[in-house]
Amino acid sequence: MHPLAERIQNQDMRALARAITLIENDDDDKLELMSDIFSIQKQAHYIGITGSPGAGKSSLINRLLTYIRRLDLTVAVIAVDPTSPFSGGSLLGDRTRMNQHFMDPGIFIRSMATRGSLGGLARSTKDAIRVCDAYGYDVVLVETVGVGQSELDIMKAVDTTGLVLTPNSGDVLQIFKAGIMEIADLFIINKADLPGVGKLKATLEEYMMIVQPKGWQPPIIPTISTENQGMQELWEKMSDHQTYLYETNQGRARREQQLKLEVYDLIREEIWREVRTEIEQDQRKQEAFHNPDADPYQLARSWFQNWMRKGE
């Protein structure tokens, strides 16, 4: 077993943090580590919280953490932040909103950058979730970037997805267009003390009548995170959904689909890593980038075919 995996199994916090850093840096040992981590994961409840910027996702999670801890459950939070296209860094603001939990040994908070991932989640986020599971956390909460259509990748990484909306925000039309409604297992109307809650709830109910979901009916939960209202109902509905997933054929089908997508992602990642390494180590290929008239389609096709022939 990989030394870090063994230390994580023994709940070594430094090993947990080190493993996530190793994953983010795409270390050569990552696949070996994750294979060992997979063998010791403990089936935590993976929960994703998504929604538009300003919907109050971080404040909601902050309150939800307090409620979950009162149930004597441990929680890991992975806050995915957008990456700057210039510096490669990210503004890790979510950690400041949850600073009251930093001293709680039953809560682990880690911010991760998207690193250009179009799905709103870094590829390494799924691996980080599994590492937290292997450590022994009961719940792993993932807060996504909140950038519209790119949130769809959350469905590949978690069991339960909560979509946070606010009254009179104008988000609903954009969310309808983006297809995000289809991935929501729960609709959370945050800032429910504002006008327009009834209209938003009616819109969501009409949507569900149109799509006629089979099996799980996404509940609509009003919350006011600033006043700590609605957390009990929210957690109960999340728990109900977890039970549903493990007791029905639809839940098994979802896990099978997630496994399929993850295998494809890992294969794509391995191919991309090898092809890119070969290109960057080939001086002639690098010189081709200096030619403004170079045909990118031809270069991509020929370089990939060359790489394929080397593997024969």
Q: Do 61 and 33 belong to one domain?
A: no
Is the domain of 10 the same as that of 158? no
95 vs 93: CA distance, rounded Å:
5
Structural domain containing residue 21: 1-40
Specify the pLDDT at position 86: 38
Residue 36 phi, psi dihedral angles, 5° rounding: -70, -40
Q: Is residue 254 part of a domain?
A: no
Same-domain check for residues 207 and 277: no
The whole-number pLDDT of residue 84 equals 43
CA distances from 39 to 19, 124, 151, 201, 242 (A): 15, 18, 28, 42, 21
Same domain flag for 4 and 91: no
Are 1 and 98 members of one domain? no
Are 192 and 286 members of one domain? no
How many domains are contained in the chain?
A: 3
**Which of 247, 271, 290 lies at the terminal end of a domain, its last residue?**
247
Quick check: 34 and 128 in contact, CB under 8 A?
Answer: no
* 139 and 286 belong to one structural domain: no
Q: Indicate whether 131 and 165 sit together in one domain.
A: yes
Tens-place pLDDT, residues 264-287: 888 888 898 889 889 999 999 999
pLDDT of 98 reads: 60
Task: Please report whether residue 256 resides in a domain.
Answer: no
Q: What is the pTM of this model?
A: 0.84
Residues 1, 81 within the same domain: no
Residue 1 resides in a domain: yes
Q: In angstroms, what is the C-alpha Rg of the chain? A: 21
Half-sphere exposure (Cβ direction) of 135: Cα atoms closer than 13 Å: 28
Query: Are residues 88 and 232 part of one domain?
Result: yes
Judge whether 257 lies within some domain: no
Query: Do 169 and 217 share a domain, yes or no?
Result: yes
Q: Which of 247, 273, 300 is the endpoint of a domain?
A: 247
Q: Is residue 290 part of a domain?
A: yes
Instruction: Name the domain boundary from 216, 247, 278.
Output: 247
Do 55 and 199 lie in one domain? The reply is yes
165-198 per-position pLDDT tens digit: 888 766 565 666 556 677 889 999 999 999 889 9
Which residues of the chain fall short of a pLDDT of 50? 84-94, 116-120, 148-150
**Does residue 243 sit within a domain?**
yes
Handedness of CA 295, 297, 301, 304 (dihedral sign): positive
Q: What is the pLDDT of residue 155?
A: 76
